[in-house]
Amino acid sequence: MTKVLAIDVGGTKLSYAIINEKGEFLSEVKKTSTSKNIEELVQTFKNIIAENENEIDMTAFATAGAVNIENTKVDSSTPNLPKGYNDIDLSTLSAKPVFVENDANAAAWAEYKVGSAIGEDNNITITLGTGVGGGFIVNGKLLRGKSGRGGEVGSMKINGHGRVCTCNRKDCWESYASGTGLKYTAEEVAQTDPIFSTSIFKNKQPKEVTTYDIVAGLKENDEYSIKVFNIWKQDLITGLINITNIFDPETIVISGGMGEFIDTKEVENAVNSEIVVSPIKIKLAKAGNHAGMIGAALLACEKF
Amino acid sequence: MTKVLAIDVGGTKLSYAIINEKGEFLSEVKKTSTSKNIEELVQTFKNIIAENENEIDMTAFATAGAVNIENTKVDSSTPNLPKGYNDIDLSTLSAKPVFVENDANAAAWAEYKVGSAIGEDNNITITLGTGVGGGFIVNGKLLRGKSGRGGEVGSMKINGHGRVCTCNRKDCWESYASGTGLKYTAEEVAQTDPIFSTSIFKNKQPKEVTTYDIVAGLKENDEYSIKVFNIWKQDLITGLINITNIFDPETIVISGGMGEFIDTKEVENAVNSEIVVSPIKIKLAKAGNHAGMIGAALLACEKF
């Protein structure tokens, strides 16, 4: 049996556990915070590895940020990770082999190997959270591109409305189909559509309506909330149609916090009614909150 | 040396030649028309194969339409191919092995093996003609998807203008970035922008302005034509940005009739200034008019 120390490095939380080559957990998942100071963060990595190194065969990082093509370090990362993180060669932190993969790619691999797309050599995992992330399996292999940065489907421009994304570009799918996108749509509808005056949120300023308000409004049958959610859903569907026509996948797995609010069968039917390739399945993710760790561990087992 | 009889089945023309495993032509390219009658078309295939069967090791079809995952026949095809074409198992037409691939996929493979993207294991060929076609190489393999229909990037929705595509769907990239798209844009600008009244085409009805007019107008420094072309180019760039962010390719190869009108360096700079992955190259296709035949022949050599 192979034992992998899997470490998930998120913008705020850091989790780790020992996982075997079947993706099974051999230890409890331990958690700490991700330090904003790079020396502290590296020391945390060293401590975790030292604590486990005798027992394990290798270490696997699932991390936020773009990972280099050699799977040894992060090449570029989001501002919520400490400055200098991109300069750390993670592969030098252990005497045993170290593997590094982007967390969205690792999560997609977990869905392929032990989750909702087992045995499907062409499948996609889309994460709908604060942003929109994607992991693509093509011919049974992870799509990483020339530099390891492939899969940036959240930056796909799907619309000519001119909405400015958090990345400062315009009309990214992420700015429509993410949780943040739902808030933007809520604000736009509140500003332009009289339906807002009948809403349970009418006493708020358009800018103040939150993603959580809309989700709560759906349960109250608030018409404004339903309208906002339907626009959001259509923008989600547009992007799913695009990637379906390009990838012709068996399944698109939906993960992330926004996944629980969609009716996968309804979205599946809407996508299948407009694509030019053969029908797909849409399923919720099954590999769980720790999909990134599982996927990174399994990929490390394949590599070493 | 392997000798492949390569047959290119287009909507109007049918070409064939003998090609070796290096993609070199061992015979002249012969041409005939693609019959609109399925019995006649099958008879043409049989005659071509009979004429060459003693000399060859296998036959490779590069054909319009979606090819099944087994590479033996067409699953669905455009109306310009005869009714019943999808029912023909092309693999039964010869006693020797037969391989079938979609022409855009085959052309992309030719660019990868003997054209503008040699040795680049992640690359894309985009064909800009009457429509927009795509062939995607991921990890050194053709992206075919679960059913063989993958790569339908012309159906990617890039815009919220609501333009109706020839496929009756709305806002397909193809309806903007193809030769036909240039004509649609010419019509829209003529209808809405006073600049048309200063154009050398001002005596035409907006619907009458053709793709060729705009291309001719560019040479005459016609401001209306320049404006139309720039909008077309921006729509082309939007789609190229999308696929670059998803695939992180080394190169995007541009083929097809519209390719000669673009400045690849200018488009490359525009794409690279907006992507979140690492910079790409944009090059014109090099495998020539018979890229489909070459690619199908090379793929057949890999398979058999």
Q: Which residues have a Cβ under 8 Å from the Cβ of A229 and sit 6 or more positions away?
A: A182, A214, A215, A218, A261
pLDDT of residue B159: 84
pLDDT band at B76 (very low <50, low <70, confident <90, very high): confident
pLDDT band at B252 (very low <50, low <70, confident <90, very high): very high
* A156 to B245: CB separation less than 8 angstroms, yes or no: yes
pLDDT of residue A236: 97
pLDDT digits (tens, 9 = 90+) for B40-65: 999 999 999 999 999 999 999 999 98
Residue B24 at interface with chain A, using a CB cutoff of 8 Å: no
Taking each helix axis as running N to C, give the angle between helix B179-192 and helix B211-219, from 0 to 180 degrees, rounded to the nearest 10.
Answer: 80
Residue B157 at interface with chain A, using a CB cutoff of 8 Å: yes
Residue B141 has pLDDT above 80, yes or no: yes
Chain B residue with the nearest C-alpha to that of A161: B160
Which amino acid belongs to residue B24? Answer: E
Which amino acid belongs to residue B105? Answer: N
Percent of chain B with pLDDT over 70: 100
pLDDT of residue A80: 80
Residue whose entry in the numeric block shows the structure tokens 């019943």: B84
| Min Cα separation B240/chain A (Å) | 10
Residue B79 has pLDDT above 80, yes or no: no
Residue whose entry in the numeric block shows the structure tokens 């292999």: A141
* B122 to A145: CB separation less than 8 angstroms, yes or no: yes
The mean pLDDT of B67-75, rounded to a whole number, is: 95
Q: Looking at beta carbons, which residues of chain B come within 8 Å of A250?
A: 146
Structural domains in chain B, CATH included, are 3-110+289-303 (3.30.420.40), 119-285 (3.30.420.40)
CA distance A42 to A35: 9
pLDDT band at B189 (very low <50, low <70, confident <90, very high): very high
Chain A residue with the nearest C-alpha to that of B247: A150
> Which residues of B46-187 form beta strands (DSSP E)?
58-63, 66-67, 74-76, 98-102, 123-128, 132-138, 141-142
Residue B288 has pLDDT above 90, yes or no: no
pLDDT digits (tens, 9 = 90+) for B206-230: 999 999 999 999 999 999 999 999 9
pLDDT digits (tens, 9 = 90+) for B102-127: 999 999 999 999 999 999 999 999 99
| CB-closest option in B152, B160, B247 to A161 | B160
Residue B78 has pLDDT above 90, yes or no: no
* B149 to A277: CB separation less than 8 angstroms, yes or no: yes
pLDDT of residue B80: 80
Please give the distance of CA B80 from its chain centroid, rounded to a whole number.
16
* pTM greater than 0.90 (yes/no): yes
pLDDT band at B167 (very low <50, low <70, confident <90, very high): confident
Tell me the H-state helices in B193-222: 211-219
The mean pLDDT of B240-247, rounded to a whole number, is: 98
**Strand A58-63 relative to strand A98-102: parallel, antiparallel, unpaired?**
parallel
Which amino acid belongs to residue B115? Answer: G
Q: What is the DSSP letter of B67?
A: E
pLDDT of residue A79: 76
| Residue ranges for chain A with pLDDT beneath 50 | none
pLDDT of residue B207: 97
Interface confidence (ipTM) of the complex: 0.95
Q: Looking at beta carbons, which residues of chain B come within 8 Å of A146?
A: 120-122, 248-250, 278
* B248 to A120: CB separation less than 8 angstroms, yes or no: no
